[in-house]
Amino acid sequence: MPTKHHGPTGTTASNPEPDPAFLRDSTGSRLYRLHLAGAGDVDQLTDLERDVFQTLWPPTNFAREIKKSGQAVLVATVRPGATPPPRSERNSSLVERVVGGIRTLANSNADNARNGDRIAGWTVVWFVAGEAHIASIGVAEPERRRGVGELLLLGAIEAAAINDCDELTLEVRKSNDAAQALYRKYGFNAVGERKGYYVDDNEDALIMTTPDIREPEYAARLAGLAADHARRWEDAGSRFERC
């Protein structure tokens, strides 16, 4: 049973439509990679969570969380100023580059402290009795409006499928219309409420859940959404790759 939260799941996960010209001029290109968190990520994760969820207490013990079985801590790292690949490479199979690539997560992570990449966002996903629960998801303020929250959501869904889960659930603030819109885009529907779920202001949470993610119809929908995600954000200077 989920406990009360100080910070809202999905607060920073929504991705409004980009303004490509503004983003290119102001921040340049960015290369994002999605992978399992490793020991070298713990300090960055702790600092980032403190910035994103300032009322959260106690803070997440990421050193412990990344070692637990039955869950996954995924991070999206960013490398500013990355040179875009040739057009032919950018147009290669997105299922291989994004969705299918996440299937390698169980055997890979990156030592970001050593290679200099920053963590742009994270998500924690629990796997229990055929169901996955997105326990938290957050994006660093400078990396918002670049498709990172949606990338993390794609990773959470694929991680759930890899771990033989039939559906995903999450809680989101009733007032967070932007996050709810993103979740509905990926098939989540409101199925209930948790009264006074957020202890910082006693706001209620909506419980949202997906249909069966292992049905062929949903898999096809996910692949299409992933392809659209990469195309939509490319002009804003965001690229997404696996490690």
Q: Considering the candidates 143, 158, 183, 234, report the single residue annotated as catalytic.
A: 183
Q: Is 186 a catalytic residue?
A: no
Distance CA 1, CA 192 (A): 14
Separation between Cα atoms, residue 230 and residue 159, nearest integer Å: 19
One of 171, 198, 218, 234 is an active-site residue; which one? 171
Q: CB-based contacts of 115: which residues, under 8 Å, 6+ apart?
A: none
Active site residue 183: yes
> Residues, the chain, total?
243
How close are the terminal C-alpha atoms of the chain, in Å? 33
- Please list, in sequence order, all residues whose beta carbon lies within 8 angstroms of the beta carbon of residue 222, skipping any fewer than 6 positions away: 99, 154, 157, 158, 186, 213
Pull the structure tokens for residue 131.
């169901």
How far apart are the C-alpha atoms of 72 and 75, rounded to whole Å?
10
**Pairwise CA distance, residues 73 & 122, whole Å:** 7
> Tokens representing 11?
């607060």
* Side chain identity at residue 181, one-letter code: A
Distance CA(12)–CA(206), nearest Å, equals: 16
| Burial (Cβ within 10 Å: 0-12, 13-18, ≥19) of residue 24 | middle
Tokens coding 157 = 């869904």
Give me the phi and psi of 73, to 5 degrees please. -110, 110
Q: Which residues are catalytic?
A: 171, 183
